[in-house]
Amino acid sequence: MIPLLEAFELRSMLSGPQDASNAYIRVQAGAGGTEACDWAQMIVRMYSRWAETKGYKIELVDELRNDSAGVRTATLYIIGDYAYGNLQSETGVHRLVRISPFDSNARRQTSFAAVDVTPEIDGEIDIVIKPDDLVRQTFCSGGPGGQHQNKTQSGVRYIHKPTGIAAESRTERSQHKNDDNAMKLLKSRLFKIEEQKRKAEVEKAYDEKGEVAWGNQIRNYVMQPYTLCKDVRTDQQTPQVNVVLDGDLDPFIQAYLRTKAAGKMKKGGSSDEDL
């Protein structure tokens, strides 16, 4: 339990225009086939567990499963007060080092997954999207949900031509619901880019084509030959990597907020000095 004074201090750091908003979390597996897709699935589980401990509602907006195991991409919708303010710390590349369960020779493998967190845009913020700037696509959604989803064009994808940003939804049976979800997600991503432009930050981190540069990880999760979870931006770390993967992210979130408020944030990097 966080002491009352400390909780008040942390809440005071969540003063951004969208910090109180709900959040979308998009997880994308990096190169590495099944190993990377399994890591992406582990990250989705980690954020779901964290959200559950906060009493937040969780919805799966989109999921593209890998044939063997794990997911190639997945998008979660986290509903709750200050969901985005807390989860903004998670945007970046997450790196896993472990003995691969998919390697018959039991070799140590390194996997990457990119995480992008965007706020839900409420009705008070006007994101103008010209119809001529949009490409709307429909597709068979596939995945869980039975034959209806596999045979009908219920999945919807919007592509914003000026930026190349895309957003899609395939988990609902109704094309209308998927259309609404995809448009909301697209507006969320476009707002995030505009927000980063106003802050003169690197908007390439939110480009769908190269979401985050591989090798510029923000956090390392080492499971073998020892255990360590370390955030390279804040130096927050713990040997209890399995506890973190079970959703205990608060120490890392709080360290990020304090470091950001102090203006001492480090950049992510590809150094192996902690591995």
- Which amino acid belongs to residue 95? R
Strand 92-99 relative to strand 217-222: parallel, antiparallel, unpaired? parallel
Residue 16: predicted pLDDT: 80
Q: Is residue 202 part of a domain?
A: no
- Look up residue 258 and give its two tokens: 């304090």
Number of compact structural domains in the chain: 2
Residue 201: predicted pLDDT: 41
How many CB atoms are closer than 10 A to CB 12? 10
Report how far residue 3's alpha carbon sits from residue 102's, in angstroms, rounded to the nearest whole number.
43
Which of 197, 228, 255 delimits the end of a domain? 197
Backbone angles phi, psi at 234, to 5 degrees: -120, -10
Closest CA to 76 of 166, 185, 3, 155: 185
Same domain, yes or no: 234 and 109: yes
Residue 271: predicted pLDDT: 52
Determine whether 252 is exposed, middle or buried from the number of CB atoms within 10 Å of its CB (0-12, 13-18, 19+): buried
Q: Is residue 184 part of a domain?
A: yes
Tell me whether the omega of the peptide bond preceding residue 225 falls within 30 degrees of 0, making it cis.
Answer: yes
Q: Is residue 130 part of a domain?
A: yes
Q: Is residue 204 part of a domain?
A: no
Which of 197, 229, 244 delimits the end of a domain? 197
Q: What is the pLDDT along the chain (275 residues), one digit of tens a residue?
A: 556 656 667 777 887 878 889 999 999 998 778 899 999 999 999 999 999 999 999 999 999 999 889 999 999 999 999 999 999 999 999 999 999 888 778 788 899 999 999 988 765 556 788 889 999 999 887 654 444 445 677 899 999 999 899 999 988 888 888 999 999 899 888 887 877 765 544 334 444 334 444 557 899 999 988 999 999 999 999 999 999 999 999 999 999 999 988 887 777 665 555 55
Q: Is residue 208 part of a domain?
A: no
Range of the domain at 185: 123-197
Same domain, yes or no: 54 and 167: no
